[in-house]
Chains A and B, each alone.
Chain A
Amino acid sequence: MRRGHLTIFACTDPETLSGLNWLICYLTTGKHLLFYAAFGTVLLLLAITAPAAMAFGFGGAMAARSRIAPLRWFGKGYIAVVRGVPDIAFFLFFVIALDQGIEYVRHKIKCPDWDQPVRQGSDFLVCQAAKMPLGNSPQWVHESYGFALAVLTFAIVFGAFAANVLFGAMAAVPRGQVETAEAYGMTSRQTFWRITVPQMWIYALPGLGNLWMVLIKATPLLFLLGVEDIVYWARELGAAKTPRFTDYPHPDWRMWYFLALLVFYLAFTRVSEIVLARLTRRLSYGQATAGGEAMRRAQA
């Protein structure tokens, strides 16, 4: 009983601690718990962005295949421009552009009788009611709005990469399959949804798997978008602390914090790699590809 008592109250006076006890207490301070929670932010970002980027990608690929010329130009332009320009430039651009775009639309709707120009020199002025989020909103609304903008930005940028992969995959479905569908009298819409889309995944999987890895490795860029993510906390917690400001003074430990992040990402990508390899095996089953053929031979 006494021992349990001791460990619970051990962290109240850090100066008396030493060795392992000090480390345990240090690693469970309030700010460290926020740091650990930030890993959840990264996973949440991935969980939302991956399907959103897929949706953007699917839309982009369909647009690029469209028979309507302007739509096709838009789809191809979307793919080409996002791929031709550094992704960080897009992140920095879209976060401001989306924010201003949303405020501008709200401004036009909510304050129709506003007569001053929105852009005055170096200022972007909209009426109070159009501010997003509203000036008097609580802190968590501001944070969620920032996070939502980040998610949308990620989805737009990675949607272009996904569009490229899906566009290629749709074209890779054997021509004979499509021709057979046409011979059975299917319309082009039916052919697309019943023949092309179900079969394209095996061709898209290597590209999408790679994209997933790229997406994982892009998550630290949240830091640039102003979200308090793991990079933010690693910098914050690792910086040298003097006894005046903290109970746990230490020299500059940022190197070790970033080493920990490095290990986290290595483990994450490794696990993803293994899962993707299994998924590829599952999807290859019964397919008219080299992989599927090899599995068929192994069974025969």
Chain B
Amino acid sequence: MIDCLDTIADYGLRSLGYGERLLPRSDFTLCQQVTLIGSGMIWNVYFGLLALIAGFGLATVVAVGKASSKRWARKPAEWFIFLFRGSPLFIQFFFGYFLFLSLKQVSSAFDAFASAWAGALVVLFLNTAAYTGEIFYGALQSVPRGDQEAAEAYGLTGWRKFRRITWPTMLRLAWPAYTNEAIFLFHATTLVFFTGFPAVQQRGDALYYASYFADKTFNPFVPYPILAGFFILLTLCIIAIMGAVNRRLNRHLPQAATRRPRLLPQIIR
């Protein structure tokens, strides 16, 4: 027990570069595996959370663009969504990494983007913005006609109508699918260190450490279930938080009409 507390002190923040520098090399204990894989989860949460928040903003813009009747707004949005939804995230990571490497030669402003914390975040941000944009676009198309007409009858137009009527309704309709997208975004963060992006000084994410242990012990039956446990925990947290938001978005409706967000099969990567 005391040993394990020491291990947590040594390796708890290892993925950020604090604590013991050398990873354990032999006689791996269960405590070491849980601690290091948990430490790696910091990166998964970092990538997922920031990409989700930033992607939310861009997704709204993209959805409005795609729903626009003006060609100059619609076409770029359509192409953006097609580009990121039509190709594998795995290839996007590789392409992004090598693109940033090339840009690094041109200007030192791109130095940061050749490392995972910034470069992979940009790729994930654009990717989730495209997927979320498509979800929001679908929701935007299903905003009831009556809501819009009622808003106009009250004298709301343009930005005020969008801000107070269209946008909240769009969010409410999109929320179950968006919850699903959030879950799969967090799952997708495990790809980062398996593409070009280097894990400097072995500071990696949860899957990076899990595969490290699986390689060293040649026993996949311990590290991967630990990783699965962490991710199921994370998924439950996401469902709880998104469910709370969903209840708030639907609070004006008769309660029988509201549905709990389900894991919808439609939007997986």
Contact = CB atoms under 8 A, between A and B. Distances in A.
Interface of A: prevailing SS: helix
A67 to B, nearest CB: 24
Interface stretch (A78-86, A137-145, A177-185, A288-296): A78-86
Contacts of B231: 84-86, 89
A119 B221 CA distance: 12
Contacts of A146: none
Interface string B181-193: 0000001101100
A217 interface: yes
A262 B263 CA distance: 29
A259 B265 contact: no
Given A96-B214, A168-B265, A265 B86 contact: yes
B99 A255 contact: yes
Interface stretch (A108-116, A219-227, A277-285): A219-227
A210 B268 contact: yes
A97 B232 contact: no
B190 A88 contact: yes
A85 to B, nearest CB: 4
A86 B207 contact: yes
A89 B231 CA distance: 10
A93 interface: yes
Interface stretch (B90-98, B140-148, B167-175): B90-98
B164 interface: no
A170 interface: no
B98 A266 contact: no
B interface residue count range (under 10 / 10 to 19 / 20 to 34 / 35 or more): 35 or more
A85 B37 CA distance: 14
A97 B83 CA distance: 35
Contacts of A86: 187-188, 190, 207, 231
Contacts of A233: none
A92 B207 contact: yes
Given A220-B90, A255-B102, A87 B265 contact: no
Given A93-B224, A165-B265, A262-B92, A88 B191 contact: yes
B219 interface: yes
B202 interface: no
Contacts of B88: 216-220, 265
A83 B220 contact: no
Nearest to B26: A122
B93 to A, nearest CB: 9
Contacts of B190: 86, 88-89
B89 A217 contact: yes
Nearest to A273: B86
Nearest to A122: B217
A236 interface: no
Given A86-B188, A231-B94, A269 B86 contact: yes
Contact of A207 (B82, B86, B224, B266): B266
Interface string B75-111: 0000000110011111110110011011000000000
Interface of A: 81, 83-89, 92-93, 96-97, 100, 119, 122-124, 161, 164-165, 168, 206-207, 210-211, 214, 216-221, 223-224, 231, 234-235, 238, 252, 254-255, 258-259, 261-262, 265-266, 269-270
Interface of B: 26, 82-83, 86-92, 94-95, 98-99, 101-102, 187-188, 190-191, 194, 207, 210-211, 214, 216-221, 224, 227-228, 231-232, 235, 263, 265-269
